[in-house]
Amino acid sequence: KAGVTQTPRYLIKTRGQQVTLSCSPISGHRSVSWYQQTPGQGLQFLFEYFSETQRNKGNFPGRFSGRQFSNSRSEMNVSTLELGDSALYLCASSSSGGINTGELFFGEGSRLTVL
């Protein structure tokens, strides 16, 4: 069974640009969550999509947005990039979004560097 796939793995952008990251969940998984990891901050929850609907949202500015397609693939977009957006962006999928069995499966992440 293929794992969670994130593309691109690495990318470099400049301030003011926008970026789109993609996540393909494990086949059959309907929930996709996005997290940002920065040094010293751990992983911070961005948002979760379930059946094409945003189900949960973290405390990030509106420059961060996402969507989910009918095949459960998800994209997140960051507009007007700032230096502080440099981070590892992780996508996680689960069959229902339930946590009770620790069933979040993470991808390897997309490393974004903003210059």
Partner 1 sequence: DQQVKQNSPSLSVQEGRISILNCDYTNSMFDYFLWYKKYPAEGPTFLISISSIKDKNEDGRFTVFLNKSAKHLSLHIVPSQPGDSAVYFCAATHPNQGGKLIFGQGTELSVKP
Contacting residues toward partner 1, per CB under 8 A: 4, 31-33, 35, 40-45, 48, 50, 55-56, 58, 90, 92, 94, 96-109
Kindly state the smallest distance separating residue 80's Cβ from partner 1, in Å.
25
| Nearer to partner 1 among residue 16 and residue 98 (C-beta) | 98
Kindly state the smallest distance separating residue 5's Cβ from partner 1, in Å.
11
| Nearer to partner 1 among residue 11 and residue 104 (C-beta) | 104
Which residues, 6+ apart, have CB-to-CB distance to 87 below 8 Å?
Answer: 36, 37, 38, 111, 112
Cα four-point dihedral sign 81, 25, 99, 40:
negative
Distance CA 88, CA 109 (A): 6
Structure tokens at 51: 């059946």
Kindly state the smallest distance separating residue 82's Cβ from partner 1, in Å.
21
| Nearer to partner 1 among residue 18 and residue 38 (C-beta) | 38
CB atoms within 10 A of CB 88: 16
